[in-house]
Amino acid sequence: MKLETLLSSTRNWTPDRNTTDGVVLGSIVRMVRNLPGFPFPGWSTAESRAAVAEQLLPVLRGMQGFKTAFCSEMSKLSYGQRRALLTRKQLTPCMAARQDGCYIIIPQRRPFIMMVNEEEHLVVHAFRNGLNFEDCVQDIQELDDTLQEELNFAHSPRHGYLTSIPAEAGDGLQLYCLLHLPALTTANMMNQVTKALEKLHVSISPYFSDAQDDTGHLFVLFSIPGPEDSIDEMMDAFLDVVDHIVLREVQVRRKLLAEPGLHLQDTIARAYGLLTNCRRLSIKELRDAVSLLRLGTLMGIVTWEEEEREILIALNQFGLDQACEAALAEETGDPQLCLRRATAAREFLNKHPHSFSDNTI
């Protein structure tokens, strides 16, 4: 599969409205494994990385559903291509900095991303839309069973699977959750959330790794790896944290909506007006405006002829496509990109019939 095909595929992070009110966009389970007898990637040489790849790649490429996958050595990807994959969460920041002997494998029809010689010899991400860790864990455990039929991973009876960070040895699993938190961000409450999470040994960071801010109001929540065979307990504790953040986001949305100053309604209206009338649009402006339009949709301020779930998918995909285009075009410094982005925003709104109203005030 070519990179262009991969970037054009409609692999959306779709909110699970039934359980999270559109707050949780996606769930990811990360699994790390290492081969015995080789240095970890952080201490490796070009020769040792090549030897690790020689053992892993034939097995990974030979599995069902991976024979036609996109596969590339990192040194073959440009800066813009790496940023585009980062934007889609199909690459980690650590992997984006890698070069020779480091490979990424992404199948088109299976919910996995595989990285060879990232922080560990093998890193696998299994992902699902919405709040769906159980299926992620099942997918990755089945994949692990298949891999262990042909590969021998470094394992200690006392410490579990060995990793480059000794404190993270154990089952080699970590949980990630993609969150849309426009109300908490608008209310300037994210610092409070971050400090509270630190006490629970859970971290949160901006979704877009290229912008250390709250651009787009998207965040990644992630757990600390636990001891071997602790995934069920870790998932229960992590889900409790997710539920609490979802509850707080929903509460703040309702509070902002009920304020007599109409601050939230005005913020959403300004974002809508920007997308409707602007002639130049930066990627940060677009991320924020699309986020607020998504919030307005969930709160009934913006109504569409399409079903809510379908328009949320379309909004997610539009924002993702524009972010990928920005990443790919940055290398060339295209002066027309801001103009084309504004045109694309107006075309999107014209393509999807809708109405903007104050019926919730």
Which residues are paired to 355 by β-bridges? Answer: 303
Same domain, yes or no, for 271 and 204? no
Same domain, yes or no, for 182 and 202? yes
Is residue 114 in a domain?
yes
Same domain, yes or no, for 51 and 159? yes
Rounded to an integer, the average pLDDT of 181-198 is 91
- In this prediction the pTM is 0.89
Same domain, yes or no, for 247 and 270? no
pLDDT confidence of residue 115: 96
pLDDT confidence of residue 13: 63
Copy the structure tokens of residue 198.
Answer: 């630190």
Rounded to an integer, the average pLDDT of 78-92 is 86
For residue range 315-345, what is the model confidence (pLDDT) as tens digits?
888 988 888 888 777 655 677 889 999 999 9
Same domain, yes or no, for 210 and 140? yes
Same domain, yes or no, for 246 and 303? no
Over pLDDT 90: what percentage of the chain?
55
Same domain, yes or no, for 351 and 224? no
Is residue 218 in a domain?
yes
Tell which of 254, 276, 311 closes a domain. 254
Is residue 231 in a domain?
yes
**Count of domains in the chain?**
2
pLDDT band with cut points at 50, 70 and 90 for residue 361: very low
Is residue 361 in a domain?
no
Lowest mean pLDDT among 65-69, 221-225, 281-285, 356-360: 356-360
Is residue 302 in a domain?
yes
Q: Which domain holds residue 178?
A: 3-254
Over pLDDT 70: what percentage of the chain?
92
Of 181, 190, 170, which is closest to residue 298 (Cα–Cα)?
181
Lowest mean pLDDT among 36-50, 213-227, 257-271: 213-227
Rounded to an integer, the average pLDDT of 120-128 is 95
Same domain, yes or no, for 241 and 158? yes
Same domain, yes or no, for 186 and 316? no
CATH number for position 171: 3.30.590.10
Tell which of 219, 254, 289 closes a domain. 254
pLDDT confidence of residue 7: 73
For residue range 131-177, what is the model confidence (pLDDT) as tens digits?
889 999 999 999 999 999 999 999 999 889 999 988 788 899 999 99
For residue range 30-70, what is the model confidence (pLDDT) as tens digits?
999 999 999 999 999 999 999 999 999 999 999 988 888 99
Mean pLDDT of the chain: 88
pLDDT confidence of residue 108: 81
pLDDT confidence of residue 326: 83
Lowest mean pLDDT among 211-215, 291-295, 297-301, 348-352: 211-215
Same domain, yes or no, for 324 and 191? no
Same domain, yes or no, for 117 and 142? yes
Same domain, yes or no, for 269 and 126? no
Rounded to an integer, the average pLDDT of 3-24 is 68
Tell which of 199, 233, 254 closes a domain. 254
